[in-house]
Structure 1
Amino acid sequence: MSMQDQTLRSIELTYDEIEAEQLVIDSIANATLPSSSTKRIQKVPEMLIKETDDYKKYYVPKVVSIGPYHFGDKKLEFVEKLKPVFTMRLLSNNKETLRSLYKTLGEPQMVQELRSLYDENLIAKFCNKDFTKMMLLDSCFILYCVRFIFFRDSDDCEDLNIHQIVYLHQDLFLLENQIPFKVLIEVMKFVNPDSWADKFKSFISGNILASQKLKRTWLEKIPCIGNNQSSVGENKLESSNVPDHLLHLLHRTLTNDEKLPKNDHLKSEDDSRCTFRNVNELMDVGIHFKPSGTMSLAHIKFLQGWFWFTADVELPPISIDDSTKPMLLNLIAYEMCSRDAHAAWVTSYICLLDSLIDHPEDVKALRKAGVLENSLGSDKEVAKLFNEIGTGLVPNNLAYLEAKYHMQKHYKSRRNSLISELKHEYVKSPWAFFALLGALIALFLSAVQSYYTVWSPEGECDELCKLLKKNHHL
């Protein structure tokens, strides 16, 4: 019998022993959930699933199933068999720790609370024993990956190859692939690494959309894992600040938990209507883009320049690669299901970028400005990505209202429009520019000649001419 089979057998025997001591759990197997329970871990809304292939490509896990929604998928069996092994490694092969953890997660009140966070119809097939076992294995698997696998070279991990590790990152941030964060907190109490706060900070930082430089400065601002803890070593979190799950924690980090501003003086329908079509149109009227110093998608600022024609718009920088699209789509899906749907910052941010990007030239301009970091491929692919994601999305009209109001006002200014026309007519056409430059030089020289003809002071030559004329007449 192999070492892995022995470990699996040991786990199953431990579960059987615990089951005999947990008869009270079975008494609530058929308990009716309160009708007022709030489902915090939901399925992807149908309106986001344009095609079956889209659903499988962007919302279905490729390596590991976390939680009940994709449990039992034959394609995910390999990693499923690793979960007991990783669990015992995380718990240092201590069966007593495993027993205590199982009892904690299997308490009737805890089981009922955790089950209430999922769709009742989709988890009805799991008895409380199987549900508790799933929560235990999945939470230990996540923490083992965060503690050991994601921060080590692929050569050091014998169980998973580099491709599986890359997909693991993506799978842990799928909407339908989540377990309550409360379970992770309970497991952390039984495992005492140097600092879970630092581990989760680095883990979340590695998955935010910013460039590497900004990730380092943004690391300390990750909420709920470090800053809101009364004691990092004890892993204490205020219950009101505990995220629903990992995807919620990522969303909170990207938006900094910002609420929509009031902006009562800008709430008219005209204030939210933008007629500019892309980045280059705005640059033509003197609006330039630059990266902001924060990753929060809620912070987009319009800054009037030193000269009346120029202005700056600060956008949070974003790095685009192969994992960007599934991550954005799942964040958008989370916002559609969120209890706080009015603050749909990710959806609004994507809609704003979609309104700014029409062509590869717009991507190029934002890339040169340091707003976009393109690791995906050509600028055309990036433009296509935002145009596809933004199709059909409805932003919150109050998001970025003040910045968009000033951008539109600057864009519609008659003075700025006139300067834009002059730039198009002369500056962007070399021959027209040289012709204009030649005409201006000729006009300047003619003006100088006329001035000296009329107003030039008398010199020695003028005195000589007068003398010669006088003598000639004599």
Structure 2
Amino acid sequence: MEITNDSVSQTTLNNFEAPNDSIIDWIIGSVTDVDADADATTSTAPRIPKVPGTVREKHDYETYYVPKVVSIGPYHFGEPKLQLIEKRKPVIAMKLFSNKEAILSLYETLSEPELVKELRSFYEENSTTEYSDKVFIKMMLLDACFILYFINFLYLGGAEDYSELKSNEIFFVRRDLYLLENQIPFKVLMKLTGDGLLDYIKPFIVFSSFVISSSTEESGDEDDREPNHLLDALHGKHSMIVKAPTLTFDPIKFSGCNFRNVSELADVGIHFKPIKDTLSMTHIEFVKGWWRFSADVKLPRIAVSDYTRPMLLNLMAYETCRCSINDSWVTSYVYLLNSLVDDAEDVKVLRKAWVLDNYLASDKEVVELFDEIGTDLVPSSFAYIEAKYKMQRHYDSWSNTLFSQLKNEYFKSPWAIFALLGALIALFLTGVQTYYTIWSPESKCDDLCQFLKMNHHL
């Protein structure tokens, strides 16, 4: 997507006088001015909250919630370690637009008093008061330009000039753009690109997702609302409702699950398969097999890499701040995986089933990852309850338990199967022989034998 003057409203352009070079130079200069604004306060619940204190204490805040190379928004603005890319943002803004007039026009559009007040309300109260309106809007504009530059030029093939970002920075930039405390309102990006932004960034969201989908078309109910920010857009993809649950039992009476891991479920004939056409974590299916002794549990296919831990933690932190308990699908999915993955053998089973792609050094690291982020979670009470109920019923079935025991005792090797078949055949023949010995009817041969014995003294 090429961003030109056409992205800017013609009405907006006509409402401003010829740009003043000093103003333009100030806009595209580094954001260094800090000027207090007494009216820059917010009173509503922030849509871009800070990571809650309880979460900070539980996990390493500096490692998983603080940006490594780029600051987006006011929370980490001005930190010394982030200045290297901060100084490049004005150059990036100039590369994104064809002339200075377009940048000035967008700055003036974002400077509307009501819009400034709304944008400030996205953040926690008093977190933006140290910045004047001019500095705050300049920050929003340059950060939005950086995000669009990164998406367009580095992931969507918009240009060949990658000089403003080094190869070793790209990994961390992608990570930083999805941190909860490193967001700007989606509305700012909309002002720069127009109403087609959602379609424009959809490939980037799919690319950034740790859930793997073989299709770009979703079969569920898309949320038509404008996301609050990039992290919210990613969360919306992962928590999209694929289908309304239709419970076949009373959830109040369901006492929960007593199976421990993937291996225990595999022992009673439950196999795992990937759902390949969705990014949503809400889609889990339980399907009975033909002979009733087996069943398939279908899960969204997940890739575990160095990105996974910080992205999951920030999504769960966002759910802690913004979502109700019944909407915490990411938290519930992590809780489910943590309950299924108990050791490296469980990870191996999921890998072989193509439910989990492991890009870490070992399967043990996957276990450690979910042990760390899945401890003390409070998932939705009704998340996956239908699938859990069916798995528990299958697990408790005496016929499935008997079949499992036979399989474990006799089906581990071909020789064990042959020995079992030989024993069954021998038992069958012994039974046939016993039957005919006891219950066989008399024949003419029997009468002849008796006659010969009587007359020939045999």
- TM-score of the superposed pair, with normalisation by structure 1: 0.81
SS class of match (1:312): strand
Per-residue deviation at 1:313? 1.1
**What are structure 2's unaligned runs of at least 5 residues?**
1-18, 29-34
Match of 2:210 in 1: 209
Mapped contact 2:175–2:311 kept (Cα < 8 A) = yes
Q: Is the 8 A contact 2:189 2:197 kept in 1?
A: no
On the 8 A contact 1:359/1:380 being kept in 2, the answer is yes
Q: How does 1:408-427 map to 2 (within 5 A)?
A: 408-427=392-411
For residue 321 of structure 1, report the CA deviation from its aligned partner: 1.0
User: Which structure features the higher share of helix residues?
Assistant: 1
**1:72 CA displacement:** 0.7
* Cα deviation, residue 436, structure 1: 5.0
Q: 2 CA distance for matches of 1:153 and 1:113?
A: 31
In structure 1, the residue matched to 2:8 is none
Are 2:358 and 1:374 aligned? Answer: yes
Kindly report the root-mean-square deviation, in angstroms, between the aligned alpha carbons of the 2 structures.
3.5
Match of 2:116 in 1: 111
Q: 1:68 to 1:34 in 2, by over 3 A?
A: closer
Which of 272, 288, 302 in structure 1 is aligned with 2:271? 288
2:377 alignment partner in structure 1:
393
Quote the residue 2:74 is aligned against. Answer: 68
**336-345 vs 386-395, which moves further:** 336-345
Q: Distance in 1 between matches of 2:208 and 2:140?
A: 23
Distance 2:21 2:452 in 1: 127
What residue in structure 2 maps to residue 31 of structure 1? 39
State whether structure 2 residue 64 is matched by structure 1 residue 55.
no
- How far apart are the structure 1 equivalents of 2:83 and 2:298? 46
Q: Which moved more, 1:117-126 or 1:425-434?
A: 425-434
Counterpart for residue 127 of structure 1? 132
Q: Distance in 2 between matches of 1:85 and 1:463?
A: 116
Query: Residues 153 and 160 of structure 2 are in contact (CA less than 8 Å); yes or no, is this contact kept in structure 1?
Result: no
Q: Which residue of 2 aligns with 1:179?
A: 184
- Give the letter aligned to residue 220 of structure 1: E
1:277 is matched with 260
Distance 1:459 1:42 in 2: 96
Q: Distance in 1 between matches of 2:457 and 2:177?
A: 108
Counterpart-to-counterpart distance in 1, 2:20 and 2:331: 43
Give the Cα–Cα distance (whole angstroms) in 2 for the partners of residues 203 and 166 of structure 1: 14
Aligned mates of 1:176, 1:183 — CA distance in 2: 16
Contact 1:261 / 1:398 at 8 angstroms: preserved in 2? no
Contact 1:272 1:405 in 2 (8 A): no
Q: Distance in 1 between matches of 2:171 and 2:338?
A: 28
Query: Matched residues in 1 for 2:119 and 2:248: separation?
Result: 40
Aligned residues: 433
**Secondary structure in structure 1 of the residue aligned to 2:402:** helix
Contact 1:39–1:118 (CA<8 Å) still a contact in 2? yes
Unaligned runs of 5+ in 1: 1-9, 20-25, 229-239
2:410 and 2:442 map into 1 onto residues whose CA distance is 42
Distance in 2 (CA, whole Å) between partners of 1:359 and 1:316 is: 20
Contact 1:68 1:123 in 2 (8 A): yes
Equivalent residue letter for 2:23: T
Alignment TM-score, normalising by the size of structure 2: 0.84
Encode CA deviations 1:37-80: one digit per residue, 9 max, x unaligned: 2310011112222467x111111111110000110111111111
Change (3 A) 1:377 1:114: same
Shift of 1:366: 1.1
Question: 2:347 aligned with 1:347, yes or no?
Answer: no
Matched, 1:46 2:50: no
- 2:10 aligned with 1:13: no
Q: CA deviation at 1:267?
A: 2.5
Task: Kindly provide the CA deviation profile for residues 263-311 of structure 1, in whole angstroms up to 9, marking residues without a partner as x.
Answer: 494331x415111100111111121111124231101111122212211
Distance between the aligned counterparts of 1:11 and 1:447, measured in 2?
105
Q: AA paired with 1:390?
A: G
Distance in structure 1 (CA, Å) of the matches to 2:248 and 2:53: 34
